[in-house]
Amino acid sequence: MDLFQLTYFIEVAHKKSFTKASKSLHISQPSISKGIKALEENWNVRLFDRNGKNVELTEMGIYLLPKAEALIKEFSQLNEDLKAPSLLNSGKLAVGIPPMVGSSFISPFIHYFTTAYPDIELEIKEVGSQEVISAIDDGVIQAGFVALPITTETPYEFFIFNKECLEVVLWKDHELAKKNQLTLQEIKEEPLVYYPKTFSLNPFIRSFYQELMTDPKIVCQSSNWDFLVEMVRTKLGIALLPETICRRIPDGDVIHIPLTDPQIPWTLAMIWKSKGYLSHPTRTWVQSFKEFFNKRPSRSCR
């Protein structure tokens, strides 16, 4: 038995697939299969039930998984504790940030982090919230940012750092522009400039429309805030944008009005794996981010 075999076991258990584990660990599938087989022979147990491409833990596998995770975590901590302090805050770190989140919230922290930890080589990858999960699963990034809610089978930890409401953005001479607040019932038939499918807001907002037994009348989709606002300016359709973004819209021929019934929250969270190995740069990023945003005034959708 060795630590590599334990790592293979943990990854296959979480991915429920030898193929996905191979892709995540960047190890060939035959090597992973060989490592699992060696573990089973060493322990004289069967760890997985294999049914075609599907893999499920046996009862003994379920019992051994948390013990294997604890061993890997303790060894990783011991290994890093033995390193020189100057090496702890160095290495590479890739973080996934949706384009609609980065410019408004994360940029100040990135400046703080790169200044505080100059020896950590930070790579920022622009990905939508729905793609952040698969990127972490595949080992492309180590942490990321998402707009909740999201669904995932792999255990993750979240740190919510912003929650605010969506507002209705429309042109100044729109027939609803003089209202102090609006309801979804009032705007449900309006043409809507909208978010692409890779954004969690896409299905989330749609669910509120479906409660009214209808679907949004989508006329255009974009992942760019400014482009959505410009499409409203041309009177192509209205938009539903977060308060923070609405406050950035210059005074002129586009206005924003609170949506009060229902209030649709935009909840932002940092996400990272809760099980298995986390590199020291990743743990430094997570802890620094929590401390940075815990010092800032919180926003909420009321």
Burial of residue 141 (number of CB atoms within 10 Å: 0-12, 13-18, 19+): buried
Q: What is the CATH number of the domain that holds 200?
A: 3.40.190.10
Q: What is the pLDDT of residue 124?
A: 94
- Which tens digit of pLDDT belongs to each residue from 217-270? 999 999 888 999 999 999 999 999 999 999 989 888 999 999 999 999 999 999
In a domain, residue 32? The reply is yes
Q: What is the pLDDT of residue 25?
A: 87
Verify that 94 and 220 share a domain, yes or no.
Answer: no
In a domain, residue 302? The reply is no
Verify that 168 and 262 share a domain, yes or no.
Answer: yes
- Which tens digit of pLDDT belongs to each residue from 125-152? 988 777 888 888 888 999 999 988 877 7
End-of-domain residue from the set 55, 82, 109: 82
Backbone region of residue 26 per phi and psi (left: phi > 0; alpha: psi in -120 to 50; beta: other values) = left
**In percent, how much of the chain has pLDDT > 70?**
93
Verify that 172 and 208 share a domain, yes or no.
Answer: yes
Verify that 144 and 15 share a domain, yes or no.
Answer: no
Concatenating the DSSP letter of every residue in 160-187 gives EEEEEEEEEEEETTSTTTT-SSEEHHHH
- Which tens digit of pLDDT belongs to each residue from 78-99? 766 666 555 567 889 999 998 7
In a domain, residue 92? The reply is yes
In a domain, residue 72? The reply is yes
Verify that 21 and 34 share a domain, yes or no.
Answer: yes
What is the tally of structural domains in the chain? 3
Looking up tokens 């992973």 gives: 32
Cα Rg for the chain, rounded, in angstroms? 23
Instruction: Tell me the pLDDT of the chain averaged across its residues.
Output: 89
Q: Which residue has the higher pLDDT, 191 or 156?
A: 191
Verify that 117 and 178 share a domain, yes or no.
Answer: no
Q: What is the domain extent for residue 271?
A: 87-161+267-295
In a domain, residue 131? The reply is yes
- Which tens digit of pLDDT belongs to each residue from 99-133? 777 667 888 999 999 999 999 999 999 887 778 88
End-of-domain residue from the set 35, 65, 82: 82
Give the Cα separation of 43 and 138 in Å (integer). 29
- Which tens digit of pLDDT belongs to each residue from 18-68? 988 888 888 899 999 999 999 999 999 999 998 877 899 999 999 999 999
